[in-house]
Every structure is written in C-alpha cells, then in structure tokens.
Amino acid sequence: MEVIYDRDRLRQYRSGVPQPVGFIPTMGSLHEGHLSLIRQARKECKTVIVSIYVNPLQFGPGEDFERYPRDLERDVSLVKEAGADGVFAPTREEMLPRPSITKVTVSGLTDRLCGASRPGHFDGVATVVTKLFHLIQPDRAYFGLKDAQQVAVIQRMVEDLHMPVTIVPCPTLREPDGLAMSSRNVYLSPSERERALILNRSLEEATRRWKTGEWQRGTEAARYLRETITSEPGVELDYAEVLTYPGLEPVESFHKEEFVLAAVAARVGSTRLIDNRIWQGRE
C-alpha cells in the first residue's frame, strides 16, 4: 500500500490504477466505522483509496480543530489492514497552497441541524469533498450515516453539479454499549462516556414508539427526544429533530414519508456528539 503526500504523485498514481476506484474521505483518527467503509469499498471496487486530512475549512472558530486527534502512523496501519490500496495524506499546504476563495455551497439543506449550530461547517465539507473528488476521481465514494446530514448534502451536491461519482451511504457502527463510534469519543471521561449513552438510548426508545404508530407528526417524536435528553444531568442538548430524509423538511405525517431522519446532537462535558436513526416507512 502506498502513502501519498502530494497532488502530483496522486495524479500519477491515479492514472495507473484499475477501475472502478472506491474512495473513503476521512479526517484520520480512524475507528471501526471508517474501517467498515474501507471493507465495503474493497468488496465493490478494484482500487480503494483513503484520504486522511483534517480539513480546517469545516471547523468553526472555537471548535476543536487544534486538538482534533491525529495519529497518522496508527491510521496508516489500520487502513492497510483493512485492505486499501492507497492513502492520500496531504499537508494543509498541499490542499490549500493559497487561501481558497472558491467555495461550494449547498443552500437550504445546510441551514438546519448541525448546519444551524455550526455555521459554515457544510460549506467547508462540500468544498473539501469537491477538491478531493477532483484529485482522486473516484467512481464510488463511501460515507457513514452517522453524519446523515453530511450524506444528504454531498448527495445533493453530486446531483446538482453532475459529478461523475456514486455516493454510497453506509450504516453507523456502535460500541457494544450502543454509543455511536466517533473520533471524538476519546475526549470523554468515564462518567461522560456513561452519560453520553442517552443519545442512543433515546433514539432506540423513540424508534420503538414510532413503530407502534403512537406519533403522527415529526414534532411529537422530536419532543420526546428533546425531553428525554434534556432530563439527563450533565448533557446539554443542542438539537433533537425529526425530518424527512434526505430533504430535511418537517414531517407532517409519518404515513406520507418514505424515509425519516431522527437526529440528535448534544454536548457532554466539552464534547459535542451526534447520533441518529433513519426510519423507513411504517414497519
């Protein structure tokens, strides 16, 4: 497996590999969730390329860009073990040789949920993913559904800009106790780790109730999530919303929607965590 640091070598490498090319963009600090994306790509593609790049454009002021966990050596060995063919690990200089005055924005979809709490976040995501797509030219790109809004934004961007790539959304992986895997979980103290379980537990119980048909509108399910999470001491709710997926519009009636996203975000100590469920029709 080759580790590539610069764009020139990447273009050269890319032009010589067999297609289809599968691509997994990451910010490193890899966990089983990322590795499951690599394994999925391995099954479907002749070449699998992983990028490792902590994208400054998607962090707001006061967010954790500086302290975001980085360990390239460990990441590279995990990627290799998972079966990738190449790693693209550019420096900031290589990705941003000068200030980028060009931005890709997806309006509407990005002003709610995490977009409301993190202004500019999705512009940064859309812009860097566009750059990576241009550099790597993948046929298929794999994204985890823990970031369900991100998947919706990227999917819409790809369609609107007629990008020649297929987006493959993949299921969220969880720790044995149900906590959604995230690179930010390492920030949690043991007691915070315990309290963080309320995110998954509330979504689990909401899914059960939604199945019974006791709720008609998205706002009823969202109220349940909001109240449950707010009642947990040491957990500060950011949002709890139940919207259509991938359109992210209000759910007037669960019976009318094919897919619905129940999404929550909360701060546990100083760590911001997100989790969700996607409900398909009425089971």
Task: Give catalytic residues, as residue numbers.
Answer: 34
Is 115 marked within a binding site? no
Q: How far is the CB of 6 from its own copies (least distance, A)?
A: 12
Is 145 marked within a binding site? yes
What is the 3 state secondary structure string of 190-237? HHHHHHCHHHHHHHHHHHHHHHHCCCCCHHHHHHHHHHHHHCCCCEEE
Candidates 27, 48, 135, 260; binder of its own copies (CB under 8 A) is 135
Distance CA 22, CA 143 (A): 11
Fill in the amino acid letter for 213: G
If the CB atoms of residues 163 and 197 are measured against its own copies, the closer one turns out to be: 163
Q: List Cα–Cα distances, 39 to 79, 133, 173, 182, 270, in angstroms.
A: 10, 20, 13, 18, 32
Asked if residue 107 binds its own copies (CB under 8 A), the reply is: yes
Is 181 marked within a binding site? yes
User: Six-digit token pair at 233?
Assistant: 């001491």
Q: How far is the CB of 238 from its own copies (least distance, A)?
A: 24
Asked if residue 126 binds its own copies (CB under 8 A), the reply is: yes
Asked if residue 131 binds its own copies (CB under 8 A), the reply is: yes
Asked if residue 80 binds its own copies (CB under 8 A), the reply is: no
Strand (E) or helix (H) holding 132: helix 121-136
Distance CA 33, CA 184 (A): 13
CB 184 within 8 Å of CB 272:
yes
Candidates 108, 171, 234, 250; binder of its own copies (CB under 8 A) is 108
CB 206 within 8 Å of CB 221:
yes
Candidates 105, 189, 270, 280; binder of its own copies (CB under 8 A) is 105
Candidates 3, 6, 7, 20; binder of its own copies (CB under 8 A) is 7
b/e map of 148-167 (b: 16 or more CB within 10 Å)? bbbbbbbbbbbeeeebebeb
Q: List Cα–Cα distances, 211 to 145, 214, 225, 244, 281, in angstroms.
A: 21, 8, 15, 16, 10
If the CB atoms of residues 136 and 240 are measured against its own copies, the closer one turns out to be: 136
* Contact map string, positions 158 to 177, toward its own copies, x by CB under 8 A: --xxxxx-------------
Q: Give the torsion through C-alpha atoms of 208, 167, 174, 88, to 10 deg.
A: -170
Q: How far is the CB of 103 from its own copies (least distance, A)?
A: 5
Q: Which stretch binds its own copies (CB under 8 A): 33-41, 42-50, 101-109, 139-147?
A: 101-109
Candidates 9, 74, 92, 134; binder of its own copies (CB under 8 A) is 134
The count of other CB atoms within 10 Å of the CB of residue 50 is 32
What's the alpha-carbon Rg for the chain, to the nearest Å? Answer: 19
Q: How far is the CB of 207 from its own copies (least distance, A)?
A: 30
Annotated binding site: 27-34, 58, 144-147, 150, 173, 181-184
Annotated binding site for ATP: 27-34, 144-147, 173, 181-184
Annotated binding site for (R)-pantoate: 58, 150
The residues that touch its own copies, with contacts defined as CB under 8 A, are 7, 11, 100-109, 126-127, 130-131, 134-135, 137, 156-157, 160-164
